[in-house]
């Protein structure tokens, strides 16, 4: 089925003292990529969290933002580099004696020196917190996937409308082929009449017409394009990621349409080729957004 690669999902869960909020933002990408913005103490969960996302999201760039709060969540501890503090204090005493300072620095002055003082925060990555994070991410991923499916449904309608336009143009081209062949024959006959008059060999005309028609024959390209359109209809109904398949099919259709345009000398066919190329480009732009 058609799914967009863009979307947003958010979920919040609480358990006792913990509250976890996770936001997922998905954008286009050739492959599958997950970027996590979470406390480093939960980094060990990254592999498990990626599997949860990849179970539903097969292609795209997913940014994951974590907000975790709770009274028991963080433990803050004061860390002091006593060796550095001692060196600093000895320097102050020596400087005071050397320069005959009236008094030594106060403790409040020493506390302002951050080189040997630091406050470190540790997240309590308990089993309950881990369970809460996994449940929250699972729900956020489901909501992201729901949004991608909704956008995919709109893309499906868009594709069907433009595929119908391509089919209409292709039908006009196919109907124009006999007219174009007749035009070639009449053109050659008129040229021969202007050169040799009425007395010319009809077999020569038929031979020349056959050669021209063989070079300008677009029936094969038309049939291949019709086959590609049929494949496109089938692919957009598959229950799997289809973006790359559609992208390849667009390239194949573009190649066939270019060949039709280069072979045909009919103004009406040329007009339809231009129309088809414009429509195909619109489809191609949206295919880049399909998972």
Report whether pLDDT(122) > 60.
Answer: no
How does pLDDT run across 185-236, given as a tens digit for each residue?
A: 677 667 766 766 666 566 666 666 666 666 668 889 999 999 999 999 999 9
Band (pLDDT 50/70/90 cuts) for residue 105 is: low
Band (pLDDT 50/70/90 cuts) for residue 88 is: confident
Q: In this structure, are residues 21 and 170 in contact, taking their beta carbons and an 8 Å threshold?
A: no
pTM for this prediction: 0.72
Residue 105 per-residue DSSP state: P
Q: In this structure, are residues 54 and 32 in contact, taking their beta carbons and an 8 Å threshold?
A: yes
- pLDDT in the model for residue 134: 94
Same fold, 7-72+125-148 and 150-287: no
What does the domain layout of the chain look like in residue ranges?
A: 7-72+125-148, 74-123, 150-287
Q: In this structure, are residues 276 and 254 in contact, taking their beta carbons and an 8 Å threshold?
A: no
Average confidence (pLDDT) over 101-112: 64
Please report which residue ranges of the chain form alpha helices under DSSP H.
46-54, 82-99, 107-111, 127-196, 202-216, 219-235, 243-263, 267-287
- Beginning with the edge strand found earlier in the chain, give each strand of the sheet holding 18-27 in spatial order: 7-15, 18-27, 60-69, 32-37
Which of 45-49, 106-110, 171-175, 272-276 comes out lowest in average pLDDT? 106-110
Task: Write out the CATH class of domain 150-287.
Answer: mainly alpha
In CATH, what is the architecture of 7-72+125-148? 2-Layer Sandwich (3.30)
Beta bridge partners of 68: 20
Count of CA atoms in the C-beta half-sphere (13 A) of 60 = 31
- pLDDT in the model for residue 190: 73
CA distance 156 to 287: 10
Percent of the chain with pLDDT over 90: 54
CA distance 237 to 202: 53
How does pLDDT run across 145-173, given as a tens digit for each residue?
A: 999 999 999 999 999 999 999 999 999 99
């Amino acid at each position: 089925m058609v799914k967009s690669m863009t979307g947003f999902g958010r979920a919040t869960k609480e358990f006792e003292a913990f509250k976890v909020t996770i936001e997922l933002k998905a954008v286009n990408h050739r492959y599958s990529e997950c970027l996590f913005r979470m406390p480093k103490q939960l980094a060990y969960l990254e592999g498990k969290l990626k599997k949860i996302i990849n179970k539903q999201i097969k292609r795209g760039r997913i940014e994951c933002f974590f907000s975790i709060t709770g009274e028991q969540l963080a433990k803050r501890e004061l860390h002091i580099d006593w060796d550095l503090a001692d060196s600093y204090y000895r320097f102050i005493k020596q400087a005071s004696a050397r320069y005959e300072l009236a008094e030594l620095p106060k403790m409040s002055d020493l506390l302002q020196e951050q080189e040997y003082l630091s406050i470190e925060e540790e997240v309590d990555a308990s089993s309950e917190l881990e369970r809460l994070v996994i449940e929250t991410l699972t729900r956020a991923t489901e909501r992201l996937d729901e949004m991608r499916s909704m956008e995919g449904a709109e893309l499906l309608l868009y594709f069907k409308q433009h595929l119908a336009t391509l089919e209409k143009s292709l039908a006009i081209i196919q109907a124009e082929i006999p007219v174009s062949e007749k035009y070639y024959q009449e053109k050659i006959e008129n040229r021969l009449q202007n050169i040799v008059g009425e007395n010319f060999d009809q077999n020569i005309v038929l031979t020349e017409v056959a050669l021209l028609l063989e070079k300008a024959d677009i029936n094969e390209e038309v049939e291949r394009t019709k086959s590609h359109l049929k494949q496109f209809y089938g692919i957009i109904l598959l229950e799997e990621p289809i973006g790359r398949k559609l992208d390849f099919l667009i390239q194949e259709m573009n190649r066939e349409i270019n060949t039709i345009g280069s072979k045909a000398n009919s103004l009406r066919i040329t007009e339809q080729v231009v129309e088809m190329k414009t429509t195909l480009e619109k489809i191609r732009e949206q295919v880049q957004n399909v998972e």
